[in-house]
Amino acid sequence: MYDIIIVGAGTAGLSAAIYGVRAGKSVLVLEANTYGGQIINTPEIENYPGIKNTSGFEFATALYEQATGLGAQVEFEEVRSVENHGNVKNVITGKETYEARSVILAAGAKNRHLGLPHEEEWLGKGISYCATCDGAFFKGKDTAVMGGGNTALEDALFLSNYCNKVYLIHRRDQFRGDSKSVALLEEKENVEFVLNATISALLGTDHVEGVEVADKITGEHRSIPVDGLFIAIGQTPQNQVFSGLVALDESGYVIAGEDCKTNTAGIFAAGDGRTKTVRQLTTAASDGAVAALAACAYCDSL
């Protein structure tokens, strides 16, 4: 019987593990793939307080070694379900059934991809899913943002402060995001809206040099030279297996506030899979600490 089982070895999960073991609890982390979560694919990080510059791989490896060095156990097994039996929770993987007093759900979310050729290959070579993380690398350059939700609008606003030119490409002529942000963008001289349009191809030899855009009304194709493409077409939380365990919102995020408590006693949610407005490395780490300390208090109360 573990005190805390954490589902997911991303930034939130491993941060929770550090806080759990340092509080003297037995901690098991279960991870379906490799440790690190989304950040492992980020070539360069320069917005994590206290670390001037590092790669996602280095950051994730340091976090993993820190958690395991302090005594957290990590098993690479996919969690198939979590059962709530009151004071005991069963966490079932393809190999084992583990028992815990508390569970932290930190399975994260995946950025939705356009599915274009070279999209995966050119990640960090002009393709990014996070303007807040990577925007500063495009100072004085031309960029494009794909999407029409609040993330795309905020990304375009953010980039307009750094970039020479920002093309905001959206598949409809109405934005899903807030009209206030649209109005702010309309005032920006270096932002151009490309509406009713989809990206039909990424242009370049071994990195992004432009995008080919298809007009959905006229059917015409045109090339827009850009150094970077920020894809902001939504995220998919990895919470399907928790749907019967805790309340999820209509988009599939675990409903929990800043205290990381779900509607099920002893089950906590941390990181990008939780309902929240800011999904960043810092907020994932912060959630990990909050969820772990809440789980410790829950265990002590049993």
Q: Are 232 and 149 in contact (CB under 8 A)?
A: yes
Tokens, residue 282: 């810092």
101 vs 170 by CB, closer to ligand NAP: 170
80 vs 172 by CB, closer to ligand NAP: 172
CB of 111 to ligand NAP, least distance (A): 9
In angstroms, rounded to a whole number, what is the distance separating the alpha carbons of residues 290 and 302?
19
Instruction: Using CB under 6 A, pick the residue from 3, 134, 154, 287 that binds ligand NAP.
Output: 154
CB of 185 to ligand NAP, least distance (A): 14
Per rule CB under 6 A, is residue 147 in the interface with ligand NAP?
yes
Per rule CB under 6 A, is residue 233 in the interface with ligand NAP?
yes
List active site positions: 130, 133-134
CB of 155 to ligand NAP, least distance (A): 9
Instruction: Using CB under 6 A, pick the residue from 15, 68, 143, 151 that binds ligand NAP.
Output: 151
Of residues 175-194, those binding ligand NAP (CB under 6 A): 176
Per rule CB under 6 A, is residue 225 in the interface with ligand NAP?
no
In angstroms, rounded to a whole number, what is the distance separating the alpha carbons of residues 293 and 298?
9
Task: Specify the stretch interacting with ligand NAP by CB under 6 A; choose among 9-17, 229-237, 267-275, 285-293.
Answer: 229-237
* Site track for ligand NAP across 93-112, x = CB under 6 A: -------------------x
**Number of alpha helices (DSSP H) and beta strands (DSSP E) in the chain:** 6, 17
Instruction: Using CB under 6 A, pick the residue from 71, 149, 204, 252 that binds ligand NAP.
Output: 149
Per rule CB under 6 A, is residue 237 in the interface with ligand NAP?
no
Strands in 147-220 per DSSP E:
165-169, 191-194, 197-203, 210-215
Per rule CB under 6 A, is residue 130 in the interface with ligand NAP?
no
Sign of CA dihedral 66, 45, 284, 109: negative
Q: Are 275 and 256 in contact (CB under 8 A)?
A: yes
CB of 294 to ligand NAP, least distance (A): 24
152 vs 211 by CB, closer to ligand NAP: 152
Of residues 26-85, those binding ligand NAP (CB under 6 A): none
Strand order in the sheet with 191-194: 127-128, 228-231, 142-146, 165-169, 191-194
Spell out the alpha helix ranges (H) of the chain: 11-22, 56-69, 131-134, 150-160, 179-186, 281-301
Is 16 exposed, middle or buried (CB count within 10 Å of its CB: 0-12, 13-18, 19+)? Answer: buried
Tokens, residue 113: 């991809």
Given the rule CB under 6 A, which residues bind ligand NAP? 112, 114, 147-152, 154, 171-172, 176, 232-235, 277
